[in-house]
Amino acid sequence: VLGSTDYEDAIKDPYLSYLSKQGILLKHTHGIWHPSQPNYIAMICASKSGMLTDFSQDLGGPSLPESLEEKGITWKAYIENYPGDGFKADVSEDKLYVRKHNPFISMNNIRNNLTLVSKIVNSSQLKHDLKKNQVPQYIFYVPNINNNGENTNLTYASNYLKNEFIPLIQHLLTSTKTLLVVTFDEASTYLDFNLADFNHVYTALIGPNVLKSFIHEDETRYSHFSWVPTIEANWNLSSFGNGVDTDAVPLDFNILM
């Protein structure tokens, strides 16, 4: 998940444009709110769950990890510069980790459960998990506030993706069961009088099955509410019924081979 960039700017970036041509570009994906934090909550709750700001808030109610656990699906949240051990503060000492980009720590049912909270880890753990062939089935990866572009710029974030993240996981992308979703939390433009374009963000799907598809652009309207029902459909998870938006439709698996 990268940060705060309008679709029109992201699609002009050379590397992001290249990625979209290697997979499927979801041309009409939208953030669900401003500022950024409610979008992260939506990605694991299919709802804002009452989160409307970037201020810290402890939230009740269900979230995706509980459904994954119930089905025996392995998962981890890899968060760059996360101090670990259920760290609750808004910002890490080095100022690179911010809680508003870690939706898992805001959920009471995760934070107060030793088993679940232990699956929120510093991103450095991913390299170890890759080496040991212990990568979980579901990964949620959050770059730090520099690498996601929020405190830097789009070029910085794109170079990070190109030179660090994608090379790190490259061999995963050769697995027939791997799907990488590259998206942004929100658009940088807050006021858009064309409601159809409100909070329009870049999203691309990358993976071997995507490469076999004859479709390289999907015109369906999606939002960050769409990710939970997509994952539920993929693993036949029980739904916790939080979807509150007409855009909360899962990805069309017919676009994948």
pLDDT per position as a tens digit, 167-198:
999 999 988 789 999 999 999 987 765 666 78
Q: Which of 252, 245, 250, 218 is nearest to 33 (CA)?
A: 245
The tokens 């890490």 sit on which residue?
92
Q: Which of 227, 228, 223 is nearest to 196 (CA)?
A: 223
Return the DSSP state at 238: P
Residue 103, preceding peptide bond in cis (omega within 30° of 0): no
pLDDT, residue 245, reads 47
3-class state of residue 225 by DSSP: helix
List phi, psi (to 5°) of 51: -85, 120
Burial of 113 (0-12, 13-18, 19+ CB in 10 A): middle
Q: Which of 140, 161, 134, 123 is nearest to 5 (CA)?
A: 161
pLDDT, residue 239, reads 83
Global pTM? 0.94
Q: For residue 41, give both structure tokens.
A: 């909550």
Which residues pair with residue 29 across a beta bridge?
201, 222
3-class state of residue 25 by DSSP: strand
Domains of the chain: 7-255 (3.40.720.10)
- The segments of the chain whose pLDDT lies below 70 read 192-196, 211-214, 241-247, 254-257
pLDDT, residue 151, reads 97
